[in-house]
């Protein structure tokens, strides 16, 4: 079974992050996620977009798997995300935030820049949903 995928291209301006929040909220309702799981995904996305490494439009690809939501975000300047992840290794930085709110973080290179794949398991569903 192929996953359902939503692709959203966002301008670099911060106010467009709200559009991504709306899409994530719609998925959360559809998947009967807890409010905590939705907020975790939104916090992870905001952390990446606010890291300052996006100079141009950013693409958000959301894939709904049977037990997880995967979000691929990019492209960011080459190696900029890895530097941001490494910068706060000893304190409260991007790495710690992402490791706290999502189950897996991977950085890869494609389309001339860095892409970050976030995975959040959706076993945190609740009766009644959002």
In a domain, 11, yes or no: yes
Q: Which residues contact 76 (CB under 8 A, 6 or more apart)?
A: 48, 51, 53, 54, 58, 113, 114, 115, 116
| Per-residue pLDDT band at 81 (split at 50, 70, 90) | confident
Considering the entire predicted model, what is its pTM?
0.85
In a domain, 127, yes or no: no
Q: What sign does the CA torsion over 120, 122, 126, 129 have?
A: positive
Task: Say if CB 100 and CB 91 are below 8 A apart.
Answer: no
In a domain, 126, yes or no: no
In a domain, 106, yes or no: yes
In a domain, 20, yes or no: yes
Total domain count for the chain? 1
In a domain, 128, yes or no: no
Let me know the angle formed at the C-alpha of 58 by 25 and 23, rounded to the nearest 5 degrees: 10
Which tokens go with 68?
A: 């997880």
Query: What was the pLDDT predicted at 129?
Result: 47
The CATH number assigned to the domain holding 40 equals 3.30.565.10
Query: What was the pLDDT predicted at 52?
Result: 60
């Amino acid at each position: 079974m192929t996953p359902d995928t939503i692709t959203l291209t966002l301008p670099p301006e911060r106010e467009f992050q709200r559009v991504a929040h709306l899409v994530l909220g719609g998925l959360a309702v559809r998947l009967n996620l807890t409010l905590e799981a939705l907020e975790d995904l939104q916090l992870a996305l905001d952390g990446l977009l606010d890291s300052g490494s996006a100079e141009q439009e950013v693409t958000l690809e959301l894939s709904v798997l049977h037990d997880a939501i995967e979000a691929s975000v990019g492209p960011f300047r080459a190696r900029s995300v890895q530097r941001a992840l490494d910068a706060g290794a000893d304190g409260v930085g991007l790495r710690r935030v992402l490791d706290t709110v999502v189950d897996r973080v991977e950085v890869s290179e494609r389309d001339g820049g860095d892409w970050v794949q976030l995975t959040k398991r959706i076993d945190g569903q609740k009766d009644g949903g959002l």
